[in-house]
Amino acid sequence: MTAAPVVSVRGLRVYYGTLRGTVRAVDGVSLDIGAGEVLGLVGESGCGKSTLGRGILGLLPDGAASKGDVIYGGRNLVGMSEKDLRRLRGPDLGLIFQEPMTRLDPLMRIEDQFQETLEQHEPGLSAREVRKRSLETLGRMGIPPTRFRQYPHEFSGGMRQRIMIALALVLRPKLLIADEPTTSLDVIVEAQILRILADLRRNFDTALLLITHNLGIVAEACDRVAVMYAGKIVEEGLAGDVFAEPAHPYTRELLRSTISLDTKELHSIPGAPPNLITPPPGCRFHPRCPDAMAVCPTKEPVEQHLAHERRVFCWLRGPEQAIPAGGTSPLEREEIAVAEEA
Amino acid sequence: MSTPAGMGPSGWRGARRLAGVRRAFAPVAEARGLTRSMLWLGCAITLVFVAIALFAPVVAPYDFDTFEADGSRFAQLEAPSWDHPMGTNVQSTDVLSRIIWGTRTELKVVLVSLLFSISIGVPLGLLSGYFGGKLDRLLVLFMDALFVFPFLLLAIVIAFLLADRVGQGILTAAIAITAVYIPLYFRVVRNHTISIREEPFVEAARALGARPFTIIRKYVFFNVVQNVPPLATLNAADAILTLAALGFLGYGIQPTQGAEWGYDVNRAVSDAASGIWWTGLFPGLAIVLLVVGLTLVGEGLSETMNPVLRKRPTGTVDFSSDSGSEAAGS
Amino acid sequence: MAAQGTSLRQYALTRLALVIPMVFILLTLVFLLMRVAPGDPISAALGGRVPKEEVEKLKAELGYDRPVYVQYADYLASVVRLDFGEAITDRRPIGDIIKENGAATLELTFYAMVVALVVGVTFGLLAGRYRDTWIDGGGRLFGIVVYAMPVFFLGLMAQLLFGSYLGWLPTSDRASPITQATIETHTNIYTIDTLINRDWGAFVDSVEHLVLPAATLGLVTAGVFIRLIRVNVIRTMKDDYIEAARARGVDERAVVYHHAFKNALVPVITVVGLTVALLLSGAVLTETTFNWPGIGRTLILYLQNRDYTAVQGIIVVFALVVVAASVIIDFVNAYIDPRIRY
């Protein structure tokens, strides 16, 4: 990375407090996103990617707490006051949600929603200015000005998502986090949305974190990709490279599970995602990893840098010195009984 | 899952039913904070009244219509004193005793009418909701019409009409109150039954060939019955108010059958002009207190069992348990 | 896209069509109820006080000697004509009763509703917003206690306090005898009529007489609103668009007031409709306590005199009013919430 990243995350931990214990949803994540760059964040449901996205913006629900560093514009977003964070949300930080159907106030016209957002952050704007900017951004999303005064329920899901994106973009944020923006939309609409998101980097130079569980989207729209499992990043690198030659067994298994027109039989990863209150010791993937070694349950893997800006957390990739004698032999374990799997 | 050794089929089913009921009411145990205090306070108040009602003969100094003791008649409209902590009313009866005996009357009538309302309204709602069809539509129209009508007016009219036929008294009041609240249970149970009926697990049971009554018994009933306790307690609270209102208007029980708080307040209205406050204040406070108690329980229950309102209790976040290896900065 | 005017009209027509079966059932119910009592209404009302021949004459005149189904047909026909006949005991036309006493009740319930809304909405919004704080606890307790108070008890206490002890306000009747004698009625609603007549003294007088009954009835009804609005505010604050607005940096006050409260109040309109029934019940009690010459007290008086015809007429009017109220409420609902029209 040549230029300084727009946002720099170091050792971010987001934990939820519940009656049964502390859920370690995000457990020590570090990554950078640069201007005009699209970083894809993939993983299974429940791996913590949504929490990570919200944790970066400080939009956490009651009972959650975060620790670590999220450096943006020279300041640490973690621990910043709610007031300061609120000022950043909109003009600097943006979030696009998953379900567009329920994300707009049903009693407010689109026009008013834009007005509210713009007035909040740029109170000096004239009504004409507000209208001009709103229509311009909406226009880029393909929403005609004639529909400016309509209510949310008069739009389809795909259009509502475009309105949401427009609302997020009207203030030209430098960092945009898209949390599964196309999951609840059909494939054609999905393609349109992705194209819009891809345009962002060209037109606005926005840094985009694209959270999804759909590998296809990542391959299509992202520059780099980070793979997440059980609250930790297991692999990160250029999208093309990671998909062509996955360095981590989990990434490899994920890719193999993807269904395409060539798929002859279904492949799945045995077992289920781990309990995040008491995660497995050592490498969290070891109970389900087909290539697990003896060392894997004992120590957490150390970050390894590979060629072409690739990072991976796996004992298979070393470092050799850190592995004790006999650690590379295959892991002995009992067969997972089929009944216990569910 | 294998059946634990030693548990025959009936034992197993019994334990499962108990577990089902316990599971249905589990959220109550999770209640925290304000909701919990409400529940406890409400239960305490209600239980005190229930105890008073049960032990009335022991607790009350006099009978509800005693106007003399030891040969001498009580003073009329005597202010609260050691002999009569709540004073006496215009008929020289002890106000405190009337309050205590009145508790019995209120709870008796309300309990009976509640039981009847539930045993008519709930099954009707279940059947109507599950089977639908013409009967359902008819029942719904009928119940909605009743529901829309002001409770009290309906009760008054029914009480008034029955008074001619059956004669005034506890039975009339109870029937009037029963009739008024049946639509409430019917409606709630029916709506819930309809939404459960569409659930995938019911559909699956049907696909497996289960008979309708089996489905209702095993799946629908337990889900739907969760609605009843909050509804019943709030209903009881409302019923007490309705009964008191009937008593106030003169359509409640006969003075010879027992004491009733609403009736007492009515008698106290004329006392007010002379500035006599104890004949009206105490019965009124009794009504308020009992209704508040029941409402607290009802509100507490509906708050805990309503999934929208339920607040997931959060524990404290503990950052100390680090595994140690945080990724170093690149 | 259909013009909004037509769909509102369509909705109106459908809604009105649904009303007819309900009204029909109510009317039939009333008819049957009145026939449950033994004997005929005339004897019941006048028997023993009036010579037998007169009773028989009246019976024939009013049609009580004809078969039941003929009476039923007559009854329905007269309702459609809005001709409710006369009371048996005092030969007062029911229509007049409705006009005069009905107006009194309308005045009372209107102001009571105002009180209920103001108190209820305020406390409900606050309790929901500051959930689980002392504001919430206090507001809810207030609502519960106030609802638990029988209207007649609160009225009695109010009369004792403000009437007997403090002597600030009158405790019975609608207006002082002078006002009653000299008022020029147009609508029979004293507060309006006195203003039309520009009779300020009489206006003040009628307001003074209104304060205690309206406040009592309104306060007791407020409890219903507090409970409902609180629940709605809590529910609304969890809605998705609230989170989305926060993600755009909209400040908390705007989020709460413009989004949450507005959405939370939408169902209130429905409850206002349901509360009409509650108010009518309460009106009966309030009018009896305060000797307010409304239709509720009139009903009780006729009941005591066993004047079935009057009772039947009044109850039919009650039923029609309640049904009309619910239709109007649905209307207003559809107008406010654009989603309902479709």
Do A45 and A182 lie in one domain? The reply is yes
Calculate what percentage of chain A has a pLDDT beyond 70.
96
H/E run at residue A83: helix A82-88
Work out the minimum CA distance from A163 to partner chain C, whole angstroms. 12
The reported pTM is 0.74
pLDDT at C62: 67
Of the three residues A234, A258, A282, the one that is the final residue of a domain is A282
Contact A105 C342 (CB under 8 A): no
- On whether residue B132 sits in a domain, the answer given is yes
> Would you say residue A100 has pLDDT above 50?
yes
Domain annotation covers residue A209: yes
Q: Is residue B35 part of a domain?
A: no
Contact at CB, B327 and A313, closer than 8 angstroms: yes
Neighbours of chain C (3+ CB pairs under 8 A): A, B
* Residue B7 confidence class, pLDDT cut points 50, 70, 90: very low
Residue bearing the bigger pLDDT, C309 or A336: C309
Sign of CA dihedral B303, B305, B307, B312: positive
Q: Is residue A145 part of a domain?
A: yes
pLDDT confidence of A226, banded at 50, 70, 90?
very high
The reported pLDDT for the residue numbered C73 is 79
Q: Domain range spanning residue B227?
A: 50-311
Could you tell me if residue A187 is inside a domain? yes
Stretch A91-110: mean pLDDT:
88
- Examine the domain organization and report whether A60 and A19 are in the same domain: yes
Q: Establish if C144 touches chain B: CB-CB under 8 angstroms.
A: yes
Neighbours of B111 (CB within 10 A): 15
Are A271 and A123 found together in one domain? no
Higher-pLDDT residue of B101 and B33 is B101
**How far is CA A95 from each of CA A70, A73, C247, rounded to the nearest angstrom?**
16, 18, 6
Q: Which domain holds residue A258?
A: 1-92+173-282
Domain assignment of residue A310, yes or no: no
Q: Give pLDDT, residue B324.
A: 38
Contact call for B145 and C147, based on CB within 8 A: no
- Of A232, A260, A282, which residue constitutes the final position of a domain? A282
Is residue B10 in a domain? no
Is the peptide bond prior to B307 cis by the omega test (within 30 degrees of 0)? Answer: no
Provide the phi-psi class of A9: left if phi over 0, else alpha when psi is between -120 and 50, else beta: beta
The minimal CB distance from A86 to the residues C1, C251, C338 is found for C251
Confidence at A342, pLDDT banded by 50, 70, 90:
very low
Q: Residue A101: is its pLDDT beyond 90?
A: no
CA gap A127, B276 in Å, rounded:
67
* Separation in Å, CA of B146 to nearest CA in chain C: 8
The span from the CA of A200 to the CA of A222, in Å, is: 12
The domain total for chain A is 2
Distance from CA of A25 to the nearest CA of C (A): 20
What does the pLDDT read at residue C3? 41
Grade residue A233 by pLDDT with cuts at 50, 70 and 90.
very high
The pLDDT, as a whole number, for residue B120 is 92
User: Nearest CB to C21: which of B141, B150, B275?
Assistant: B141
CA distance C251 to chain A (A): 7
Confidence of residue B16 (pLDDT cuts 50, 70, 90): low
pLDDT at position B293, please?
Answer: 92
pLDDT on residue C37: 61
Residue A133 and residue A275 in one domain:
no
pLDDT beyond 80 at C58: no
A195 with A274, same domain: the answer is: yes
Residues in B touching A21 (Cβ below 8 Å): 315
Q: Is residue A189 part of a domain?
A: yes
Cα angle value C220/C223/C228 (rounded, 5°): 150
Segment B6-34 shows an average pLDDT of: 59
pLDDT (mean) for A58-79? 88
Chain segment B284-308, per-residue pLDDT in tens: 999 999 999 998 888 888 777 766 6
Q: Looking at beta carbons, which residues of chain C come within 8 Å of B137?
A: none
> Is pLDDT of A175 > 60?
yes
Q: What is the pLDDT of residues B40-85, one digit of tens each?
A: 888 899 999 999 888 888 887 777 777 766 666 777 777 777 777 7
Residue C264: its pLDDT value, please? 81
Confidence check: pLDDT of B313 > 70 = no
Q: Which residues of A touch C1 (CB under 8 A)?
A: 154
- The whole-number pLDDT of residue B6 equals 39
Tens of pLDDT, residues C251-282: 888 888 888 888 887 777 767 777 777 788 88
Higher-confidence residue of C216 and B318: namely C216
Interface contact A19-B321, CB threshold 8 A: no
The answer to whether position A97 is within a domain reads no
Give the chain B residue whose CA is nearest to the CA of C276: B150
Kindly list the residues of chain B whose beta carbon comes within 8 Å of any beta carbon in chain A: 30, 312-319, 321, 323-330
Given A120, A153, A168, which is nearest C251 (Cβ)?
A120
Residue in chain A closest to B311 (alpha carbons) equals: A62
Q: Measured between beta carbons, which residues in chain A are less than 8 angstroms from residue C250?
A: 116-117, 120
* Residue-level pLDDT at B292: 92
Does any domain span residue A76?
yes
**What is the pLDDT at residue C83?**
74
Q: Which of A265, A282, A299 is the last residue of a domain?
A: A282
In this complex, which of B148, B248, B273 lies closest to C285 when CB atoms are compared?
A: B248
User: Which comes out higher in pLDDT, residue C42 or A57?
Assistant: A57
Cα separation, A90 vs A120, whole angstroms: 9
CATH number, residue B125: 1.10.3720.10
A27 CB neighbours in chain B (<8 A) are 323
* Chain segment C273-318, per-residue pLDDT in tens: 777 777 888 888 898 888 888 888 888 888 877 777 788 788 888 8
Flag whether pLDDT at A258 surpasses 50. yes
pLDDT value at residue B327:
34
Q: How confident is the model at residue B90 (pLDDT cuts 50, 70, 90)?
A: confident
pLDDT surpasses 80 at B4: no
- Same domain, yes or no: A85 and A10: yes
Same domain, A152 and A252: no
Contact call for C144 and B266, based on CB within 8 A: no
DSSP string for residues in B121-181: HHHHHHHHHHH-HHHHHHHHHHHHHHHHS-HHHHHHHHHHHHHHHT-SSHHHHHHHHHHHH
Task: Read off the pLDDT of residues B73-87 as tens digits, 9 standing for 90 and up.
Answer: 777 777 777 777 778
Same domain for A117 and A199? no
Residues A60 and A188 in one domain: yes
Pairing of strands A75-76, A64-72: antiparallel
Residue A153: what pLDDT? 85
Residue B325 lies in a domain: no
Q: Give the pLDDT band of residue B14 (cuts 50, 70, 90).
A: low
Quick one: average pLDDT of A77-89?
A: 88
**Which residues on B lie below 8 Å from A233 (Cβ)?**
327
Name the residue with tokens 């995000």.
A26
Distance from CA of C164 to the nearest CA of B (A): 7
Average confidence score pLDDT of chain B: 77
Q: Three-state SS across chain C?
A: CCCHHHHHHHHHHHHHHHHHHHHHHHHHHHHHHHHHCCCCHHHHHHECCECHHHHHHHHHHHCCCCCHHHHHHHHHHHHHCCCCCECCCCCCEHHHHHHHHHHHHHHHHHHHHHHHHHHHHHHHHHHHHCCCCHHHHHHHHHHHHHHHCCHHHHHHHHHHHHHHHCCCCCCCCCCCHHHHHHCCCCCCCHHHHHHHCCCHHHHHHHHHHHHHHHHHHHHHHHHHHHHHHHHHHHHHHCCHHHHHHHHCCCCHHHHHHHHHHHHHHHHHHHHHHHHHHHHHHHHHHHHHHHCCCCHHHHHHHHHHCCCHHHHHHHHHHHHHHHHHHHHHHHHHHHHHCCCCCC
Q: Which is nearest to C174 in space by CA: C205, C214, C209?
A: C209
Mean pLDDT is highest, among B40-49, B217-226, C13-22, for B40-49
**pLDDT of amino acid B326:** 36
B5 inside domain: no
Is the pLDDT confidence value at C205 over 70?
Answer: yes
In a domain, B326, yes or no: no
CATH at A234: 3.40.50.300
* B305 vs B140, higher pLDDT: B140
Does residue B40 sit within a domain?
A: no
Same domain, A47 and A195: yes
In this prediction, residue B318 carries a pLDDT of 66
- Count up the domains in chain B and report the number: 1
- Asked whether the predicted pLDDT for residue A129 surpasses 50, the reply is yes
% of chain B surpassing 90 pLDDT: 7
CB atoms within 10 A of CB B262: 30
Interface probe with B: pick from A24, A228, A283, A310, most Cβ of B within 10 Å: A24
User: What is the model's pLDDT at position B5?
Assistant: 44
Q: Is residue B318 part of a domain?
A: no
Predicted confidence (pLDDT) at residue A222 exceeds the cutoff of 60: yes
Q: What is the pLDDT of residue C221?
A: 87
Residue A38 and residue A118 in one domain: no
**A320-329, B161-170, C122-131: least confident range:** B161-170
* Average pLDDT over chain C, rounded to an integer: 79
pLDDT tens column, C147-169 = 888 888 988 888 888 877 777 77
Same domain, A66 and A207: yes
Any idea which of A39-43, A134-138, B21-25, B190-194 has the lowest mean pLDDT?
B21-25
Q: What is the CA radius of gyration of chain C?
A: 24
Bigger pLDDT: A148 vs C10:
A148
